[in-house]
Structure 1
Amino acid sequence: MGSWRHVVLLCSLSVGCGGPLPEEAIQEGERPQARSPAEEGNEETAAQGTRPELGTARLVKDIFPPLSGPAWYGPYPENLVEFRGKLFFAANFEDGRRELWTSDGTPAGTGPLKQFPPLSGPIFSSSLTQLTPMGTRLFFVVNDETHGSELWVSDGTTGGTRLVKDIAPGQADSGAYNLKAVGSTLLFFRYVSATTTTPARNELWRSDGTDAGTVRVKDLGPDASLIFSQAIVGNTLFFALSDAAHGSELWKSDGTEAGTRLVKDIVPGPDSSNPFSLRAVGQHVFFTAAEASHGTELWRTDGTEAGTTLVADLIPGPDSSFPQLLAPIGGGLYLTTMDTANRSMRLYKLKNDTAGVQVKFVAPLPNSSIDPDTSLTITNSTVANGKLFLALTLQGMGPAPLDTQLWVSDGTNTGTKMLHHPLSLSDEFGSTLYTLDDRVLFSGRDDVNGLEPWVSDGTENGTRLLKDIAPGTASSFPRDFTRVGSKVFFVANDAVHGNELWLLPLVNALDGADTSVQP
């Protein structure tokens, strides 16, 4: 089966001819200031009044046979999604079996819904992947001996799990990838391989879950490449596409051929503006783009050519600030820029309303290393209870980070601080951040334990280890947190069972207390 998909990729991917593939110096007065223990205690007490308690994490079921090798290696529950009040996930076994599983949190209620046996003969065995809920339908892609790799759909029952359409007839693969639920329509792309007479191309398709309703929207042209940075506003998908005529630029689609088009050729002709880091904020999409007069800076679009404009030149002139767009919050979002003078970063908060765009400096994110060859990057971010949580990574010359720190910000200088470190120090496993009501679940370390599940409410007192799943200094590599009602499912390795499905019960949750039976 090759290397396993759970290794977290920290780079952007594009699809083109290679085939389908599953972003001022610190003044002393600017430095973040810690709040007093009394302030933190009051904040924690107020938050606890509305939150469910976290129970004890437990193994749901031993699904896969353990394999030798690194703790993150081998098969594991993939593509965890909530659908119709249950957890659905893909189980891709080492022997080639592909299965769609569901779980209610109990061992007896955890099992396969649809099984696809190993492929025989010359057919390459591919994974069941891309689980995408849309209303009462769950779409996914899988390969079987009769149809090749095609689009499937399920209503949550075995009898209601079926092939949508044999897009590439017979055993040929459809090349369907990048499934997105856009309103009441599924949009997806299709990579069509080159032949001796025709070049490779990408197509945009839509589906309503029926054969007749699964149709090509637009042929995007020969050698077009999709850049994996996208955003959805209402019933419109915004995406970055590279083609020979326009280079890499911003496109949009409403699921119709006429409504699938280039938004603006920011750098006219075949040269590229390289739009990236797309973030939906209200009725706009913010992104970064590059052009000669301003370098790589912050842009915004309302979906029209006239409404696609540069909104902040954070380093005036042709030099680039290289903004990294973080998690949206309310009517705005957070972003960072590099401070090359001291190898640090600067955190900003953007507000987007009828008065326009306002960008306010919040605080510096300092580089704690004296080594001149180190740099900073944000590898993950999320928002909980109006606060930004981010994983700040200190990178040296090697592939593995020197340090990864959990930071929190309430949008003020004094409310921006480091909460915990280190998080993941692996170059093959990224740091997990997951919003759970007013808290975040994350993968963290301390002096005694390896990488394990932690929780934080944004205060030092409320940041703690949840469970040492792999005892001692071994790591369980917790990831893929997914809430379903009063349960949070995730993947972890306890060093006994391999990578398996785990559950964190939420006691006295608003949608009902946890009633699952412990194994």
Structure 2
Amino acid sequence: MTRSVRWMLGAILVLVMGLVAAPAVAAPPEPYRVATGLEGGTSAAHVAIGDRIFWVNHGSSGTSSNDSELWTSDGTSEGTHEFFDPNPGGRGLVGSLLKFGSGFVFTATGPAGGAEVWYSDGTTEGTEMIADLTVDDAGSTWLLEAGPGAVYLAADDGAHGRELYRWTGPGAAPQLLDVNPTARMTSDEELQDQWRTDWTDSSPVALGMVGDAFVFTADQTIRTADVSEWGDHYVATSGTGRELWRVGPTGPPQLVKDISQTDAWGDPSPQESTPFAERTGTAVMGGSLYFLLDSTEPGVAEPEMWRTNGVSEGTVKVAHLPLAYLDDQWDFEPAVAGGRLFYRAWSGDWDGMWATDGTGAGQRVSPAGDATDPVTLGSGVVFGLEQDDTGREPWFSGGTSSVRLGDLRAGAAGAHPFPITTWGSHAYFGANGGSGRDLYRTDGTPAGTERVMDLPNAAGAVLDGPMVFYGAEGLLYFVNSPDDDRNVGNELWAFDPNRAVTATSTVLRAPATVAYGAAATVTIAVTGAGGPPTGTVTIRDGQRVLGTAELANGAATFALPRNLALGDHVLTATYSGDAQFSSSTSAPVTVRVKAATRLGGRVNDLTFLTTERIRVTATLRTTPAINATGRLQLLVDGRVRATATLAARHRNTLTLVSPPLARGRHRLQVVFSQSPNAMDARTGVVTITVYR
């Protein structure tokens, strides 16, 4: 009688460890990763005290996506942490950071609601509310400006309306500077029903600083109760309407100029308000502040640029400007350099970068196209400019012409340089050179435009890279998004061009072969004189970022993803550096992922004659399912009696034939090996008997 026997055993995984060390790197100073895992949106609002920065993080407390806190960093991982939460355990808001003296001021909203202004000297003990100025039902206190010797606020104390306040520093009380003396309520009973409490608001709006003078707009439409000669009760108006004002660290506010004194029909109207353009930028050049008005001329749509030196005679209209109107405001964020004011223009279409010496609208100084807002660098400005053939690339203008700083990403896609900030002698920006958004800088020349660092971000990401820059005395910080999710897992980096660093060596150890779906880890060791180095390492599969790991005593482990595709993976580990140690990258280590296997065998009988051949059919099962190739061997009592090559056409099943065996009991086993795409495997052992 003939019987068929099957047997199977799980594959044995053979992991051969590869060891390759990267040579020590003596590179120029480059950015280093300070902290990882920053959650929530990151604000550009920041201040610096020496090399320590303070910035606003939104949604970082884990209590609310609308929450925000004040964070700080000194350039070390240990010194990077939340600094101030106005409402621990609940929803709080922080914003409007401004440097003042040796500290800074900011607004914060706590559990009682309504923002108030706080001052900090950079320490927890030295952080306190200036004063509770705004009553609970009157909204929030506004932080308008911080200038030499004073901070300027707007608040409603419940009696005087929203008015200007001045605060001169710790130990002083905010001083009310009442621009609009209209009473909050009239004693005239016949007018009380029509009297509005907001008539007492001057609602100051900041324009900027001219020297130590704060220039602002305020509504001085004064309303009083009066009785006509016929005995009629009415509301009389006087004052100037909304006009241009100034105030310094001492003394009362002063009207700079009543710009609008006639109505739309040209008739005298002293209370006519000037139509100051809302939410637009301003700039100071040559001791004068430049600002915008909506057009005051009938039939003219373009806004008017004015300038003021803080006195009436020096307050004049300059010109109508060719600007775009976006999101209910004029698109005007000018920059000043080399005695010129730069702005991006619109003349029926995007019209590139314009420059003026302050006597007119100026002229276009770049090719036409969609320009980004200019950023001052030395005697010129850096900006992005989009053109059909090159896409958006970085440009520089000195005020008469412009030069493209580089075609960082060839083709119409463009590198899209943003954000751009000036720090020291260079402008720094994020840009996509074709392999993700990295850190670049320029000195304003094509030859001086270079990539500072290839950031270890996710391959294929388009929203990665630097999001905001924070300039400090000796460090330039930036928040890096390692992938397309800009609200989760962000990183703080720091750049010190004068940093004296110790070279490091990074060694990556990884298994040479890994079964698909199996757990496997790599180990990283970073060494340097005077170590161990601190910080993080980034593990890449080619250009793809697999993840990061934190160093502990100069070492880290990282679990490889179980779903790595079949085939060879060239892994590297990059150490990001820290304040003491330079970055370094290991030499590549190749890890081959093969299909996981199970090998089964079937022998045609368990008893044979000494004249019969023994046939064993081997079947290989793989995960994922592939047609494996390799070598099959039939072992009899541990010795090879038959060998066959498994080809893809065999579809993982092949029969091996052994010559007749001597009389007695024999142990059979099939072994699979030498496969480029599947793990080694072997069956269990079956015993057969051979008779005469």
Match of 1:388 among 332, 341, 347: 341
User: 1:405 touches 1:422 (CA, 8 Å); kept in 2?
Assistant: yes
Q: Which residue of 1 aligns with 2:164?
A: 250
Q: Could you report, residue by residue, the CA deviation over 1:43-79 in whole angstroms, capped at 9, with x for unpaired residues?
A: xxxxxxxxxxxxxxxxxxxxxxxxxxxxxxxxxxxxx
Task: Tell me how far 1:263 sits from its aligned partner.
Answer: 2.4
Residue identity in the other structure for 2:116 = E
Paired with 1:149 and 1:366, the residues of 2 have a C-alpha distance of 38
Tell me, yes or no, if structure 1 residue 328 matches structure 2 residue 265: no
Tell me, yes or no, if structure 1 residue 464 matches structure 2 residue 403: yes
Tell me, yes or no, if structure 1 residue 112 matches structure 2 residue 33: yes
Paired with 1:508 and 1:463, the residues of 2 have a C-alpha distance of 11
Paired with 1:408 and 1:514, the residues of 2 have a C-alpha distance of 23
Match of 1:155 among 74, 77, 80: 74
Q: Which residue of 1 aligns with 2:375?
A: 434
User: 1:451 touches 1:478 (CA, 8 Å); kept in 2?
Assistant: yes
SS class of match (1:458):
coil
Paired with 1:394 and 1:228, the residues of 2 have a C-alpha distance of 36
Q: Which residue of 2 aligns with 1:206?
A: 119
Q: 1:224 to 1:110 in 2, by over 3 A?
A: farther
Question: 1:418-497 maps to which residues of 2 (within 5 A)?
Answer: 418-420=364-366, 422-424=368-370, 431-459=372-400, 462-494=401-433, 496-497=435-436
Match of 1:306 among 231, 252, 257: 252
Question: 1:270-285 maps to which residues of 2 (within 5 A)?
Answer: 270-271=197-198, 272-285=201-214
Q: 1:348 to 1:172 in 2, by over 3 A?
A: closer
User: 2:152 touches 2:167 (CA, 8 Å); kept in 1?
Assistant: yes
SS class of match (2:152):
strand
Residue identity in the other structure for 1:208 = D
Q: Which residue of 2 aligns with 1:45?
A: none
Paired with 1:296 and 1:237, the residues of 2 have a C-alpha distance of 22
User: 2:154 touches 2:163 (CA, 8 Å); kept in 1?
Assistant: yes
Bigger shift: 274-283 or 416-425? 416-425
Q: 1:323 to 1:129 in 2, by over 3 A?
A: closer
Q: 1:180 to 1:296 in 2, by over 3 A?
A: same
Q: 1:144 to 1:346 in 2, by over 3 A?
A: closer
Task: Tell me how far 1:484 sits from its aligned partner.
Answer: 3.0
Tell me, yes or no, if structure 1 residue 182 matches structure 2 residue 121: no
Q: Which residue of 1 aligns with 2:358?
A: 411
SS class of match (2:303):
strand
Match of 1:359 among 305, 315, 335: 315
- Listed as ranges, the gaps of 5+ residues in structure 1 are 1-105, 119-124, 195-199, 370-374, 396-401, 426-430
Residue identity in the other structure for 1:302 = G
Q: Which residue of 1 aligns with 2:521?
A: none
Q: CA RMSD in A?
A: 4.1
Q: Could you report, residue by residue, the CA deviation over 1:320-366 in whole angstroms, capped at 9, with x for unpaired residues?
A: 4324572112321223331343223333332347xx65123433436
Residue identity in the other structure for 2:393 = E
**Count, aligned residues:** 379
Residue identity in the other structure for 1:178 = S
Residue identity in the other structure for 2:96 = N
Q: 1:450 to 1:239 in 2, by over 3 A?
A: farther
Q: Could you report, residue by residue, the CA deviation over 1:198-222 in whole angstroms, capped at 9, with x for unpaired residues?
A: xx22222222222221222212331
User: 1:191 touches 1:202 (CA, 8 Å); kept in 2?
Assistant: yes
Residue identity in the other structure for 2:402 = T
Question: 1:51-62 maps to which residues of 2 (within 5 A)?
Answer: none
User: 2:179 touches 2:218 (CA, 8 Å); kept in 1?
Assistant: no
Task: Tell me how far 1:298 sits from its aligned partner.
Answer: 1.8
Task: Tell me how far 1:177 sits from its aligned partner.
Answer: 2.2
Question: 1:367-386 maps to which residues of 2 (within 5 A)?
Answer: 377-386=330-339
Q: 1:130 to 1:333 in 2, by over 3 A?
A: closer
Residue identity in the other structure for 1:181 = K
Q: Which residue of 2 aligns with 1:191?
A: 109
Task: Tell me how far 1:189 sits from its aligned partner.
Answer: 1.4
Residue identity in the other structure for 2:212 = Q
Residue identity in the other structure for 1:416 = G
SS class of match (1:479):
coil
User: 2:380 touches 2:397 (CA, 8 Å); kept in 1?
Assistant: yes
Paired with 1:454 and 1:358, the residues of 2 have a C-alpha distance of 34
Task: Tell me how far 1:518 sits from its aligned partner.
Answer: 6.8
Paired with 1:300 and 1:448, the residues of 2 have a C-alpha distance of 48
Q: TM-score, normalised by structure 2?
A: 0.47
Q: 1:228 to 1:190 in 2, by over 3 A?
A: closer
Task: Tell me how far 1:384 sits from its aligned partner.
Answer: 0.7
Residue identity in the other structure for 1:132 = V
Q: 1:310 to 1:481 in 2, by over 3 A?
A: same
Q: 1:250 to 1:159 in 2, by over 3 A?
A: same
Residue identity in the other structure for 1:439 = G
SS class of match (2:332):
strand
Task: Tell me how far 1:501 sits from its aligned partner.
Answer: 2.7
Q: Could you report, residue by residue, the CA deviation over 1:31-51 in whole angstroms, capped at 9, with x for unpaired residues?
A: xxxxxxxxxxxxxxxxxxxxx
Q: Could you report, residue by residue, the CA deviation over 1:385-436 in whole angstroms, capped at 9, with x for unpaired residues?
A: 11111234468xxxxxx535532211334x82233465548xxxxx321011
Task: Tell me how far 1:378 sits from its aligned partner.
Answer: 4.4
SS class of match (2:131):
strand
Paired with 1:220 and 1:241, the residues of 2 have a C-alpha distance of 6
Residue identity in the other structure for 2:363 = K
Match of 2:308 among 341, 344, 350: 350
SS class of match (1:349):
strand
Paired with 1:228 and 1:474, the residues of 2 have a C-alpha distance of 42
Paired with 2:244 and 2:33, the residues of 1 have a C-alpha distance of 46
Paired with 2:172 and 2:83, the residues of 1 have a C-alpha distance of 25
Paired with 2:71 and 2:323, the residues of 1 have a C-alpha distance of 48
Paired with 1:350 and 1:480, the residues of 2 have a C-alpha distance of 30
SS class of match (2:314):
strand
Q: Which residue of 1 aligns with 2:442?
A: 504
Q: Could you report, residue by residue, the CA deviation over 1:112-160 in whole angstroms, capped at 9, with x for unpaired residues?
A: 2123466xxxxxx564764321234322344356999543433323333
Task: Tell me how far 1:277 sits from its aligned partner.
Answer: 3.8
Task: Tell me how far 1:379 sits from its aligned partner.
Answer: 1.8
SS class of match (2:122):
coil
User: 2:116 touches 2:140 (CA, 8 Å); kept in 1?
Assistant: no
Paired with 2:56 and 2:303, the residues of 1 have a C-alpha distance of 40
User: 2:145 touches 2:214 (CA, 8 Å); kept in 1?
Assistant: yes
Q: 1:157 to 1:241 in 2, by over 3 A?
A: same
